């Protein structure tokens, strides 16, 4: 480590610039993909986009905001429920999906005033109580008819093909927009605050980071995003049964995706959603053993690989595809691997001191 040469602080790397181009190409390919895919495949891809939204939003909350919630299904259910309500009131069904998500975001603001004062496990189960209560209250709505449920009937005016394509593009657009929003947020000045809170909340507060305000932003963003996901899910499945939408399994999926992918890394949530999607495709038919496997995998990751797949890759190889932080590179040794054992790592990055 020579002190004579000043270190270079960089954000993008050659790989990240290639990755940025690749992302643009992938999105463009996904946009035209329905022309070449079977109807079933289009539906599966739509599900994948929804999973990516769920994972990214839960990761924003837990990985970046340090707020682990096991009640996020409340926003998923509300997203679907408000869409039903708005469509029933005469709004165009596709428009109601997004208006519904905005309503969910608005509802989450007063909720955040209250819930964000809870800490750790208390916040986690507190959110679960909120979800359970909301589920019961939605059941009281005559329109929903209790657990019998209802459906987004007005969507039936569109023929199946149009409906499938439109939902696919809406899901793709929502996913891209939400990821871009999160990416922009994390790269901006708020991003520094978010990572400071993630690494050490008290220390962040002591240097003037607006902890509560930043957390509220993430909480509302996550509510909004998961609201969209719930509304889109409703659009794909048409029927609304409260028990399905307010089921804690949605949060279990989110936790699984983020834990496996890499909590607190932007790319990790996307990778986790892909892994989950593949596992579901291959083993989803295994029923209860599939769920046992998901739970056991989550436990094993939390115990032995708490950084998840992407977090481990990132740490081992210093690879960063979509950089949201900065890294310090000392000149004269640009290609040294991240952990060369003896010297402090020259590629150590600013965002790597977190405790998962």
Does residue 248 contact residue 125 with C-beta atoms inside 8 Å? Answer: no
Q: x/- binding map, residues 71-110, to other proteins, per CB under 8 A? A: ----------------------------------------
Among 31, 118, 205, 274, binds other proteins (CB under 8 A): 118
Q: Which among 135, 38, 84 has a CA at the least distance from the CA of 238?
A: 84
Q: Is 345 exposed, middle or buried (0-12, 13-18, 19+ CB in 10 A)?
A: middle
Choices 9-17, 162-170, 270-278, 296-304; region in contact with other proteins by CB under 8 A = 296-304
Q: Is 291 in the site for other proteins (CB under 8 A)?
A: yes
Tell me the longest C-alpha to C-alpha distance in the chain. 74
Q: Which of residues 234-253 bind other proteins (CB under 8 A)?
A: 248, 252
**Quick one: 171 or 269, whose CB is closer to other proteins?**
269
Q: Is 119 in the site for other proteins (CB under 8 A)?
A: yes
Backbone angles phi, psi at 4, to 5 degrees: -70, -40
Q: Is 121 in the site for other proteins (CB under 8 A)?
A: yes
The interaxial angle of helices 160-187 and 39-59, nearest 10 deg, is: 20
Question: Whose structure tokens read 């909480």?
Answer: 219
Q: Considering CB under 8 A, how many residues would be counted as binding other proteins?
A: 42
Q: Which of residues 271-290 bind other proteins (CB under 8 A)?
A: 288-289
Three-state SS sequence of 29-78: HHHHHHHCCCHHHHHHHHHHHHHHHHHHHHHHHHHHCCCCCCCCHHHHHH
Q: Which among 247, 250, 255 has a CA at the least distance from the CA of 134?
A: 247
Q: Is 356 in the site for other proteins (CB under 8 A)?
A: yes
Q: x/- binding map, residues 48-67, to other proteins, per CB under 8 A? A: --------------x---x-
**Quick one: 100 or 241, whose CB is closer to other proteins?**
241
Q: x/- binding map, residues 130-169, to other proteins, per CB under 8 A? A: x-xx--xx-xx-----------------------------
Q: Is 124 in the site for other proteins (CB under 8 A)?
A: yes
Q: Is 299 in the site for other proteins (CB under 8 A)?
A: yes
Choices 42-50, 162-170, 185-193, 294-302; region in contact with other proteins by CB under 8 A = 294-302
Among 303, 341, 342, 344, binds other proteins (CB under 8 A): 303
List CB contacts of 102: < 8 A, sequence separation 6 or more: 224
Q: Is 355 in the site for other proteins (CB under 8 A)?
A: yes
Q: Is 294 in the site for other proteins (CB under 8 A)?
A: yes
Does residue 276 contact residue 286 with C-beta atoms inside 8 Å? Answer: no
Does residue 16 contact residue 323 with C-beta atoms inside 8 Å? Answer: yes
* Distance in Å, CB of 26 to other proteins, minimum: 30
* Distance in Å, CB of 227 to other proteins, minimum: 21
Helix ranges restricted to H, the chain = 14-32, 39-59, 73-88, 93-115, 120-140, 160-187, 189-199, 201-206, 211-237, 242-245, 249-261, 266-283, 288-304, 308-317
d(CA 308, CA 272): 9
> Within a 10 A sphere around the Cβ of 183, how many other Cβ atoms?
17
Q: Site residues (CB under 8 A) for other proteins?
A: 62, 66, 68, 70, 114, 117-122, 124-126, 128-130, 132-133, 136-137, 139-140, 248, 252, 255, 259, 288-289, 291-292, 294-299, 302-303, 306, 355-356
């Amino acid at each position: 480590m020579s002190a004579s040469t000043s270190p270079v602080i960089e954000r993008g790397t050659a790989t990240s610039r290639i990755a940025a181009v690749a992302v643009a190409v992938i999105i463009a390919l996904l946009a035209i993909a329905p022309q070449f895919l079977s109807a079933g495949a289009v539906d599966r891809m739509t599900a994948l986009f929804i999973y990516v939204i769920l994972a990214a939003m839960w990761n924003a909350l837990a990985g970046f905001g340090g707020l682990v919630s096991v009640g996020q299904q409340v926003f998923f259910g509300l997203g679907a429920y408000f869409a039903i309500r708005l469509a029933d009131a005469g709004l165009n069904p596709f428009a109601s999906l997004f208006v519904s998500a905005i309503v969910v975001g608005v509802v989450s603001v007063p909720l955040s005033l209250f819930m964000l004062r809870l800490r750790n496990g208390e916040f986690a189960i507190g959110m679960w109580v909120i979800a359970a209560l909301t589920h019961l209250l939605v059941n009281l709505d005559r329109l929903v008819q209790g657990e019998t449920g209802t459906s987004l009937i007005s969507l039936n005016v569109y023929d199946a093909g149009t409906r499938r394509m439109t939902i696919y593009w809406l899901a793709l657009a929502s996913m891209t927009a939400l990821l871009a929003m999160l990416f922009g947020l994390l790269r901006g000045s708020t991003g520094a605050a978010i990572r400071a809170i993630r690494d050490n909340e008290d220390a962040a507060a002591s240097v003037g980071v607006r902890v509560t305000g930043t957390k509220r932003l993430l909480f509302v963003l996550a509510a909004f995003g998961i609201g969209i996901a719930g509304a889109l899910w409703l659009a794909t499945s048409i029927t609304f049964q409260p028990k399905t939408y307010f089921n804690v399994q949605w949060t279990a999926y989110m936790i699984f995706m983020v834990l496996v992918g890499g909590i607190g890394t932007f790319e990790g949530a996307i990778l986790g959603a892909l892994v989950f999607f593949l596992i579901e495709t291959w083993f989803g038919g295994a029923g209860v053993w599939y769920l046992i496997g998901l739970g056991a995998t989550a436990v094993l990751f939390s115990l032995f690989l708490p950084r998840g797949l992407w977090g481990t890759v990132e740490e081992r190889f210093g690879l960063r595809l979509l950089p949201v932080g900065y890294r310090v590179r000392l000149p004269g040794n640009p290609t040294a691997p991240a952990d060369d054992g003896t010297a402090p790592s020259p590629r150590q990055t600013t965002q790597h001191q977190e405790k998962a």
